């Protein structure tokens, strides 16, 4: 049991100031015509808006969760929380945030050159939210400097060790206090380690507590070699032996093992898919209006991150050639039918997402390193409370 020694609530009002309500919308067209925009709570951010369909808050309430999304393009982490019939978006600032992993009370976040670790310490919640609605408070507890390895997916294994995809070095790695990172596995076709992004290894799926499947954008062994054939060169690889499970994919990302199946986002088509690991057959579950990247699940629902695409980087992809609007946000897909049941769309500053992860809390807070709530709030083991000035709390 951990207890808060010196809770501080100086920023509670500004952190949780109510944004004006967003008008519920029934379709993307209706959103453009009638939805009102709202400033999110947290640090004021110009040119950030979000609109959502009426069912989004209901999905969060039904599954009892909140979401955390990373957007490296705008340097923000977005907490997405249900608040009655409304959706609350809560911004935190980090340097190029990408991969996110959650294991029990632990949360890891990969940024430009650092992997941050947070711990949910709910006793600290009152220091940032005097209203009492916050049910989790992820406090920063450590930072590991990796250098710019382009951390993509993060995942905890069954023993609680954190794995990361070091994309520039085309390998899976773990962390060690004496090293930037420890290479643990790379595809057999990658002949040497080097900061050259040879195959754009980007995604990692854990199965039964160990690394099992990864995604690459090309089975190539030269610096940035994947770029030339990015439209059809993608593959899912089996970590056990390194053999390809599925090939010919269009920029695959976010492999995930859920409900006994392997799911993957074929980003260049804007698709959510399943992969038969025995035959390599890829089945499309849903096609969405954006570059799909970032995937998490709760109950019968998939939460899929969508990004607008950059013309120079993603030219020639099916998503570009199909025309139509390409958007940024989180789309909810019913896995039973493949139907889109709701969405949250970001407008303005946030144009690209990397990860969307489920937090098993309804209204969590994430404290930025260096913020008042982490500088002036202290958490000690219960056994140490007897020595604290004033004694342990009642």
Instruction: Summarize pLDDT for 85-104 with one digit per residue, the tens.
Output: 999 999 999 999 999 999 99
Examine the pLDDT at 55 and tell me if it is beyond 80: yes
Q: Is 320 or 157 the better-scoring residue by pLDDT? A: 157
pLDDT for the residue 326: 86
Whole-number pLDDT of residue 387: 78
The CA-based angle 59-65-71, given to 5 degrees, is 95
CATH superfamily of 2-381: TolB, C-terminal domain (2.120.10.30)
Answer for the pair 265, 292: CB distance below 8 angstroms, yes or no.
yes
Can you tell me which residue has the tokens 């670790």? 117
More confident residue, 41 or 364: 364
Residue showing tokens 């710019």: 148
Q: What pLDDT sits at residue 131?
A: 77
Of the pLDDT bands very low, low, confident and very high (cuts 50, 70, 90), residue 386 is confident
Decide: residue 273, CB within 10 A, 0-12 exposed, 13-18 middle, 19+ buried. buried
Average pLDDT over residues 11-37: 34
pLDDT of 222-256, one tens digit each?
Answer: 999 999 999 999 999 999 999 999 999 999 999 99
348 CB-side CA count, 13 A: 12
- Rounded to an integer, the average pLDDT of 25-53 is 54
Over range 350-362, report the average pLDDT: 95
Q: What SS3 state is found at 314?
A: helix
Q: Are 83 and 363 in contact (CB under 8 A)?
A: yes
Q: What is the dihedral of CA 43, 48, 51, 56, to 10 degrees?
A: -40
Using DSSP's 3-state secondary structure scheme, residue 158 falls into: coil
Does 46 score more than 80 pLDDT?
no
Which of the four pLDDT bands, split at 50, 70 and 90, describes residue 82? very high
DSSP 99: -
Residue 50's closest CA among 328, 344, 306, 357? 344
Maximum Cα–Cα distance across the chain:
67
Q: For the ranges 14-23, 94-103, 370-379, which has the lowest average pLDDT? A: 14-23
Give the residue-averaged pLDDT of 20-26: 31
Residue pLDDT, tens place only, 292-347: 999 999 999 999 999 997 656 666 788 877 666 789 999 999 999 999 999 999 98
Give the H or E element holding residue 381.
strand 379-381
N- to C-terminal Cα separation, the chain:
14
Report pLDDT for 83.
Answer: 93
331-370: string of b/e by CB count within 10 Å (b at 16+)?
bbbbbeeeebbbbbbbbebbbbbbbbbbbebbbbbbbbee
Burial (Cβ within 10 Å: 0-12, 13-18, ≥19) of residue 274: middle
Residues pairing with 357 in the sheet = 68
Residues 280 and 285: their CA atoms lie apart, in Å, by 15
- 123 phi and psi, to 5 degrees? -60, -25
Residues 6+ apart with CB under 8 A from 213: 204, 205, 207, 236, 237, 238, 239, 245, 255, 257, 262, 277
Average pLDDT over residues 155-161: 98
Q: What is the pLDDT of residue 144?
A: 98
């Amino acid at each position: 049991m951990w207890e808060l020694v010196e809770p501080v609530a100086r920023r509670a009002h500004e952190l949780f100031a109510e944004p004006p309500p967003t008008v519920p919308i029934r379709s993307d067209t209706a959103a453009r015509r009638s939805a009102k925009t709202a400033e999110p709570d947290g640090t004021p951010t110009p040119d950030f808006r979000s609109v959502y369909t009426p069912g989004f808050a209901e999905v969060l309430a039904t599954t009892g969760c909140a979401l955390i999304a990373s957007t490296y393009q705008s340097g923000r982490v977005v907490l997405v929380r249900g608040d009655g019939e409304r959706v609350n978006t809560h911004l935190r600032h980090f340097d190029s945030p990408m991969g996110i992993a959650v294991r029990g009370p632990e949360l890891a976040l990969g940024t430009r050159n650092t992997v941050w670790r947070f711990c949910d310490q709910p006793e600290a919640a009152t220091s940032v939210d005097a209203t009492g609605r916050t049910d989790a408070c992820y406090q920063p507890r450590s930072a590991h400097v990796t250098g710019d390895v382009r951390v993509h997916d993060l995942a905890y294994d069954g023993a609680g060790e954190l794995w990361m995809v070091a994309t520039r070095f085309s390998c899976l790695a773990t962390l060690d206090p004496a090293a930037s990172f420890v290479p643990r596995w790379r595809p057999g076709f990658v002949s040497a380690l080097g900061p050259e992004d040879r195959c754009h290894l980007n995604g990692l799926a854990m199965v039964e507590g160990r690394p099992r499947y990864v995604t690459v954008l090309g089975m190539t062994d030269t610096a940035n070699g994947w770029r030339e054939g990015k439209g059809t060169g993608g593959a899912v690889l089996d970590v056990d032996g390194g053999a390809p499970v599925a090939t010919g994919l269009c920029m695959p990302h976010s492999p995930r093992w859920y409900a006994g199946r392997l799911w993957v986002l074929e980003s260049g088509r804007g698709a959510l898919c399943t992969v038969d690991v025995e035959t390599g057959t890829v089945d499309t579950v849903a096609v969405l209006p954006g570059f799909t990247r970032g995937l998490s699940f709760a109950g019968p629902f998939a939460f899929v991150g969508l990004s607008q695409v950059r013309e120079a980087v993603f030219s020639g992809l099916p998503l570009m050639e199909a025309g139509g609007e390409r958007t940024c946000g989180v789309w909810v897909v019913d896995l039973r039918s493949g139907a889109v049941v709701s969405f949250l769309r970001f407008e303005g500053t946030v144009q690209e997402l990397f990860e969307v992860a489920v937090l098993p809390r309804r209204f969590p807070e994430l404290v930025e390193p260096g913020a008042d709530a982490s500088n002036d709030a202290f958490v000690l083991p219960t056994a140490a409370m007897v020595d604290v000035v004033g004694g342990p709390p009642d």
